[in-house]
Structure 1
Amino acid sequence: MDAAIEEQIDPFGADEDTKLKRLLYPESVLNEEMIISSRSDRLDALDELSEDGWKVLQDVLSWATPVDACIHRNTRDTLRKYRKAGLLEETVPTRKPERRRIELNEQTRRVYDRIDEYTRTFYKKAQQSTETEARAIGFVMTTYRQRLTSSVYAISQSLSTRLEKLRTQRKVLERRKRIRDDQDEDRQAALDALSEYSEDEIAELEDAGEDVLNVDLTELAPSLTDEGINLLKEEIEELESFIQEVKQVDDDPKMDQLYEDLDMLDRKGRSRIIVFTQYKDTMHFVRQQLRWKYGENIACYSGDGGEMYDEEADAWRNVGKERVKREFSDNDGEVDILVCTDSASEGLNLQECGAMINYDLPWNPMRVEQRIGRIDRIGQEYDDVYILNYSYEDTVESDIYDRLDDRIGLFEYVVGDMQPILSSVGSKIREATMVEGAKADSEEYEELERDIDQDIEEQQGEDDPVELKDSLAEVDSDRPLREQVIQEARLDAWETYSHPDLGKVGNPSENRDPVFTVDAAKGVFLENETLTEAGIRFDLLSHLDFEFDLTEPEDAEFIYCLQHPGDAPITAEESEDTLAASIANQHQGIGITFDPDTADEYPSLRFLAPGSPLFNWLAATLVETSDRLNLTQSACTANSDGEIVGTAEKPWVVTGWTEEDAADTSLVQLTDGGSVEDRSETVEFLNQWAQEFIENRTRSS
């Protein structure tokens, strides 16, 4: 560090020398040299450094943190520059978000307002109750209120069903008896735990096809007490007061817009379109409305699995998520429109789909961002992806989304630093609508708007030190575009946690061999005598008598059936119509692959890579049962006298593998082919490394 400063900085530039020391030296050294260095001093130093000072800073930080040679900030703008400079072949799509404000007609507006008032009234009553079951009704009301923003028609059908269930429950309560079974205790325990779940978490559980905590919220009614019976009667009376008007709702105003947009997107060449909704009842409504026009070209994807429409049987049949994805993504597939719930935003990558319609907007905008991430991907087939967002006009939710769009360009860009703000919007909307009764243009709404604006301003107003890439922009302005792009990627690594996708951008002078390769893992596990003796076997799918409709026949060369004695951390999948389920049913094994492309094509397969439970289990089994390798550890610490001594405690531990346990024994490493070879370093190297590490650590602190 001192050498770099002395070599590159004018010896008469004492002020520049001080600035660099403020930025680079630990506080203890600054105190010894009597240099004052507050946070503002360091920010000023960043702002005032000369060209030579910036180069010193870059060299020192690069030397001190060699890992930055492997880390780059791949923002969308940077990736587009990669593509422009010829460093990236794949498309980096541009988002084209558009808002669709759906006007409610006179009838649906009345129903909307009545349901809004009903959910808020009984939410407050539930919150005021001291009984567990009555309080849990508050979650029912919140869920219904969110479903109201999804589809007026769908929530109308749900409320009609709820009224019938409440009437049945009233008859039971009036006779002062309950239908009891062996699950009563479990049900009560579930209700007690219900208050710990947020509305979004409940929606996710419902979407996964499960009752929340094994309790069907749509059937949840107050307890047997007088308070519970009175609350039940009040809710029945409230629903009966407007249920006839609810039953007259036979359509959703959003559907007309959906038909129009599907035709528009088709004219723009977007032959595959995904329609997202938060709730399964809305998904069921939408698919039923579309089937008369699109027939077998529609499929569904939800927590219940994948479904396709059988026109001849006039029924939806479960075919599994894997089949749905394949039919939707393949050019020769049968499916053009995929209607799905938020479960599809987890693990479903659709680079082939160039348009998305958000039929509803959840209270938490981050869930919409997760949906968009399914099609806004590197390698997207289209340069532009269309994102159409539906909401009912003159509602709190619609106005809040408009406000966010105006302030931060919501969904036009990846959210980045705004993620904490967006994640808190859902709870703010719930508080405003369910507790305070906020409506569009009301005083309560304006307070909510001010609250969100303040959060945005605080996030945007935080002190932001000068970005290194901006400070060096003029310094390197004469270099070719390719070099500028690479330099920016390296500098951005200092202010991000992202990792690189492009080996070409790395720093050649600090090249590091990969820790893991696919061929190495295959070489270790396949035909391994130690694993075979432990009862673990890998059978290549192409060598088995197997029936399944693979996307390509040659895919069978990358898929294996894993057989084991029964103590693996996962079980064979047997439920859905998937490749993994077929392997389990036909050969009683676990479907696995080492190939990332194959894992993406068949999501039900287990991708065997470091970090997966199955990979870790296999590696642990190999280590525990093998008598060939030893794990050697070395650690040092500073004692009370400042001496560097050995220790058995973490965290200052460095490890390496050897074939013998001696100080002069060579360390070994894994080759790309999966074999073990000697390194030039010995066990003594570990001891030296640990000692030097703790010495540097002690000196810097």
Structure 2
Amino acid sequence: MPLLTETKWKFRYSHEDGDLVERFYNPALACAVEYCRTTGYFTADALALGARGLAGLFANEGRMRLVVGCTLNPDEQAAISEGYDLRALMEEQLAAADLTPPDEKAREGLGLLAWMVANGFLDVKVAVPVDPQGRPARVPGIYHAKFGIILDAEGNTLAFSGSINETAGGWVNNCESFHVHCAWLSETEKAHVDEEFEAFSKLWEDRSPGAKVFDFPEAARKKLLEFMPREDRPITPPISRAEPPHAAPGFRLTNDEFRRCVWVFLTTAPALPNGLRVGEVTSAVDPWPHQTRTYVRFIEQWPCRLLIADEVGLGKTITAGLILRQALLSGKAKRILLLTPKSVLIQWQNELYEKFNLNVPIYDGASLRWREAYGCSGPFEKCVARDEWQREPVVLASSFLMRRRERTAEILNAEPWDLVLLDEAHHARRRGAGTEQEKGANALLGLMRGLARQCQSLLLLTATPMQVHAVEIWDLMELLGLPPIWGADSHTFLKYFSWASGNPSPETLELLTAWFRDCEAYFGALSDSEFAAVMPDVSSIKRTKVVRALRDAAQATRRVLDPESRRALLDVLKACSPLRWRMVRNTRELLRSYKRANKLDLPIAEREVKDIPVEMTPAESALYSQVEDYISETYSKATADRRTAIGFVMTVYRRRLASSFEALKRTLNGRLQRLGLNEEDVSQDEAADEIMAPEDAMELGASAAELEERDRILELLRGIAKLNTDTKAQKLHAELVSVFANDGESAIVFTQYTDTMEYLREFLARELPDVPVASYSGAGGAFREKSGREGSGRWITCSKEEIKRRLKIGRVRLLVCSDAAGEGLNLQTAGVLANYDLPWNPMKVEQRIGRIDRLGQVRPKVRILNFAYKDTVEADVFFAVGERIQLFQGIVGRLQPILSRLPRRFEEVTLASRETRGAARQRFLAEIEEEVAHPGEVPLDLDEVGRGDLEPVDAPAPAYDLPVLDQAMILDASRPMDLEWRPLDARTYAARLPGLPEPIRVTTSADVFEESSDNHEFFSPGGQLFGALARCADSSLSREPQPGICWLLRDQSGRPVTFVVNTEAGFYRADSLTALLTALSRPAPPEPFPAVDWPGYHAWIVV
């Protein structure tokens, strides 16, 4: 008898995997000695679904317990309230049920169940859903998710659960999908299985609060027994075995020749004219239209220079990853440098691997570190010299590290890069931007100016390109390249937007149109369709006059324009600055406008914001004031040369105090032990001339340590120790109770600090025992094991993939998360986000909200809960002012310069003396309100002038995608003879090359890899095994004029254009992998290439 442990089960099965009877039910139940199953209804379809694979169970003399659902209709429910017996009504309904099978396979399934009932192999019970008062409930079936548990002869247990289509024809054409958990694999999996078994036991024993369970009524039993086979034996459905097609006689390629053709195509395809989307369709992402449009634009215009300024949550990293992947696969880029802040290096590395199948090393100044990916044997770290790390084709490095003076020379003296990417590009700015004390470029901007002169393509990413002043936009545009007039100085740039937005004089209009002509001369002339898009309501005749007025150097054409035409001309000037060619900005409002126009089929949620001021207890309030006094007094005592260090540490205390008393306690304890600060304590002042690096924070913390008063810190710690449970935590708990009263809802709690996160997860897990809780921070993920009889209540560490799986299937309904870990988690499965603390930089809050307010959020509304202690400066600013400007509805581009200065102002109030603190706080609030009410002249509105274009991309069908790649790999001739390749599940295989100790699981399914990248390798371009097989196939090509069978054609510039195969039917053009495989199945003997029929191309022999 086989055992469950002998098969590597997939985590998820669906109808897309093929015949689920063959893929799952037959092999699983062939191991079974006990099978527990629920199904939704007493119908032919539902019972037949429950019968799948039971022949194997019977062969093992196993037993099955089946619970079927019975939902009463409204009339029957009314009868219950009038005193009718629930059991009697249930029996009447089952007796009246129509069990006519929809097809022969369903009939066979019913026959097998009937035989098992008659012979004692199957026990059946009926469950009627009830409400909390025990009254029949009108719900679809027992549960929305049906489940089953399988036990083998050695006690190994497997559970599966999911959704099953129990409509007519479900046996044959079911749209089933379910997840599988194996108790022997891990404690996590065992917990899954135990929970399912307990749920079934409660149901079977009539202990479930959601259903009333009865023994199978005799009338229903008789109805089922009508399907007993005449020969009184179980019916075993025939197993179909497809015979391999017989090869037609004639000429055939050898396996080596066939494989060579396939692999030359696979590796060349991204560079073909129809290869533009190969990188996308062989990745693990399904991009939204605006992402596809941006990456296609970048690749088509290669070499290209672009600023992507999409709002937070609209997927800039995905767009960048698509660009990076396609540039690499197509050969356009062979050397790529990715510069990001140190705090997001790991997130970038993970995203590139999990979404784009690229394991990119991080350079930390001394070594290269790769992700420890499944299937990779290492080494994962390599020490390198300063001139050695740059030899990697793609490398991630900290922008904070590379901006250092000694590193700048090192990187600028290296071989030029094909593509340079800078994340958080607003960190590259001039010092004192927009003030009379401008001091030139900061270190990062200076580095980027050097790199911009050396690289082919340049990609800048930031949601906030204008932090302090509009001149910062010019600095970024200048990196990308500006027309001569525009690049002369920043004042010209700023004047243009100010003048074009008003009613310019004739003299000013002459300047503006000259600058427009400068743009067309540099970037290329706009097409008629582009002009029409900018002037949609202008007639074609007037549009022609406007275009002539723009392009003609003579003044006469502009002086004769009527008012409507003049307004249209100004619209063109505003829309057609260099930003049109150098920047793309997509906003949620833009996406909504396309959705309203029925041009976008995409769910976009609205936000429902609730601000929750928390009243502190007298003890908390007194301690809060005591900490504030300690901060201001310690700062005032510092000497001038130590004030920077002391001031920074004191603001760290204040930020942690606003988060939680626990976060402050742990930091104060750390200071007593002379422990340093950590990356979470880095200043949030994005308006600073030089953005603080984590190393800077450590140095300042160490410098200030000796000046702090140990006795005062101990006094504060004693005060914290006397406090009861944090009032804010209690308020959060109360709000979450309301959230979870809505069945099925899930929530995310965000905090700045891991210390606060750990405190909250313990508190919430204790106070919400029926809600599955998990946490995720820079240290990784963890979920709470059930306490009591079912577990110890321990936190079980787990991978990010496990957190994602649990969120998706409802095994986690509450996730407590730190800011550092939020990026990279797909959190739109939650509908509620709680900001337990409010970072001083509002953009940090927007980044959090963007984790659930993402494209694809299925809920029409997402709820945002904001917490702050009452009568604190955070509550004053974020609640009072925030409500006026709808701060938590999204950052408005014109307000960004005001909001970016908030962190510094918070710091100033924090460090004010006790005597001046109240006045400083009032002054701060008044100034912010005044600036918000009268923001002054902002010469350019990025949301307007940088509007993206969401019209569909007109790109050819890709040369191949993942399903076609899978079809090719099924063919033995596509694989090396010494490669072990064994099918496991649909599009999943066990693969082993010579020298590997054991096979690895590889998949060509993006869905499988998305859910299980921790135990699958993605078999697609960029992957380790894919690369190894490509290298195994001899891909050297020849231009010798000799007979051949397959050729790669290149144009006069050397770019690959198509493949040609000599077939039995003649010379065949193969632009796709499918076409190539078809042609290779009917090859003709070698012949000379008919160059006369393919003029203008160079033919390279593949075989």
C-alpha offsets along residues 97-134 of structure 1, whole Å, 9 cap, x if unaligned?
Answer: 1111112222212212222333455567778446xxx9
User: What is aligned with 2:654?
Assistant: 145
User: What is aligned with 1:450?
Assistant: 927
Deviates more, 1:672-681 or 1:256-265: 672-681
Q: Where do 1:635-646 residues align within 5 Å?
A: none
Structure 2 distance, partners of 1:459, 1:514, is 50
Secondary structure at the counterpart of residue 828 of structure 2:
coil
User: What is aligned with 1:48?
Assistant: 567
Structure 2 distance, partners of 1:437, 1:671, is 74
Q: Where do 1:227-238 residues align within 5 Å?
A: 232=706, 234-238=708-712
Deviates more, 1:311-320 or 1:425-434: 425-434
Residues 3 and 271 of structure 1, relative CA distance in 2, 3 Å threshold: closer
2:823 is aligned with 1:339? no
Answer whether contact 1:425 1:452 (CA < 8 A) is retained: no
User: What is aligned with 1:156?
Assistant: 665
Answer whether contact 1:357 1:388 (CA < 8 A) is retained: yes
Structure 2 distance, partners of 1:237, 1:277, is 29
Structure 2 distance, partners of 1:242, 1:620, is 64
Answer whether contact 2:1049 2:1056 (CA < 8 A) is retained: yes
Answer whether contact 1:519 1:673 (CA < 8 A) is retained: no
2:626 is aligned with 1:114? yes
Answer whether contact 2:801 2:1013 (CA < 8 A) is retained: yes
Answer whether contact 1:439 1:445 (CA < 8 A) is retained: no
Structure ID, larger Rg: 2
Residues 293 and 432 of structure 1, relative CA distance in 2, 3 Å threshold: closer
C-alpha offsets along residues 443-475 of structure 1, whole Å, 9 cap, x if unaligned?
Answer: 3552475268548855884356997xxxxxxxx
Residues 94 and 682 of structure 1, relative CA distance in 2, 3 Å threshold: farther
User: What is aligned with 1:199?
Assistant: 683
Structure 1 distance, partners of 2:1092, 2:843, is 50
User: What is aligned with 1:487?
Assistant: none
User: What is aligned with 1:366?
Assistant: 843
- Note the C-alpha offset of 1:388: 0.3
User: What is aligned with 2:746?
Assistant: 272
2:828 is aligned with 1:351? yes
Aligned residues: 528
User: What is aligned with 1:394?
Assistant: 871
Q: Where do 1:401-440 residues align within 5 Å?
A: 401-413=878-890, 415=892, 418=895, 422-434=899-911
Residues 382 and 113 of structure 1, relative CA distance in 2, 3 Å threshold: same
Secondary structure at the counterpart of residue 199 of structure 1:
coil
Answer whether contact 1:274 1:357 (CA < 8 A) is retained: yes
Answer whether contact 1:522 1:674 (CA < 8 A) is retained: no
2:936 is aligned with 1:462? no
Structure 2 distance, partners of 1:466, 1:304, is 37
Secondary structure at the counterpart of residue 307 of structure 1:
strand
2:1066 is aligned with 1:557? no
Residues 389 and 13 of structure 1, relative CA distance in 2, 3 Å threshold: closer
Structure 2 distance, partners of 1:402, 1:465, is 26
- Note the C-alpha offset of 1:280: 1.1
RMSD over equivalenced CA pairs, Å = 5.8
User: What is aligned with 1:82?
Assistant: 595
Consecutive unaligned residues in structure 1, runs of 5 or more: 170-186, 203-210, 223-227, 468-493, 544-555, 567-583, 636-653, 687-701
Residues 238 and 81 of structure 1, relative CA distance in 2, 3 Å threshold: same
Question: Residue 100 of structure 1: which of 581, 588, 612 is its match?
Answer: 612
Secondary structure at the counterpart of residue 92 of structure 1:
coil
Secondary structure at the counterpart of residue 374 of structure 1:
helix
Answer whether contact 1:395 1:439 (CA < 8 A) is retained: no
User: What is aligned with 1:643?
Assistant: none
Match for 2:952: what amino acid?
G
TM-score (normalised: structure 1): 0.59
User: What is aligned with 1:496?
Assistant: 947
User: What is aligned with 2:362?
Assistant: none
Secondary structure at the counterpart of residue 282 of structure 1:
helix
- Note the C-alpha offset of 1:563: 6.4
Question: Residue 19 of structure 1: which of 520, 542, 546 is its match?
Answer: 546
Q: Where do 1:539-618 residues align within 5 Å?
A: 543=984, 556-559=985-988, 587=998, 594-602=1004-1012, 604=1014
Answer whether contact 1:99 1:389 (CA < 8 A) is retained: yes
- Note the C-alpha offset of 1:261: 0.4
- Note the C-alpha offset of 1:278: 1.3
Structure 1 distance, partners of 2:893, 2:1078, is 43
Question: Residue 808 of structure 2: which of 329, 332, 340 is its match?
Answer: 329
Residues 445 and 2 of structure 1, relative CA distance in 2, 3 Å threshold: closer
Residues 47 and 265 of structure 1, relative CA distance in 2, 3 Å threshold: farther
Structure 1 distance, partners of 2:736, 2:638, is 42
Answer whether contact 1:100 1:389 (CA < 8 A) is retained: yes
Residues 94 and 22 of structure 1, relative CA distance in 2, 3 Å threshold: same
Q: Where do 1:624-635 residues align within 5 Å?
A: 625-627=1035-1037
- Note the C-alpha offset of 1:221: 4.7
- Note the C-alpha offset of 1:361: 1.1
Answer whether contact 1:280 1:341 (CA < 8 A) is retained: yes
Q: Where do 1:161-172 residues align within 5 Å?
A: 161-163=670-672, 165-166=673-674
Answer whether contact 1:361 1:389 (CA < 8 A) is retained: yes
Question: Residue 759 of structure 2: which of 285, 300, 308 is its match?
Answer: 285
- Note the C-alpha offset of 1:682: 7.1
Structure 2 distance, partners of 1:87, 1:2, is 25
Answer whether contact 1:593 1:606 (CA < 8 A) is retained: yes
- Note the C-alpha offset of 1:516: 6.5
Q: What percent of counterpart residues are identical?
A: 25
C-alpha offsets along residues 402-423 of structure 1, whole Å, 9 cap, x if unaligned?
Answer: 2552343112246566556545
Residues 329 and 13 of structure 1, relative CA distance in 2, 3 Å threshold: closer
Structure 1 distance, partners of 2:817, 2:1092, is 55
Residues 278 and 215 of structure 1, relative CA distance in 2, 3 Å threshold: closer
Secondary structure at the counterpart of residue 373 of structure 1:
helix
Structure 1 distance, partners of 2:1092, 2:929, is 59
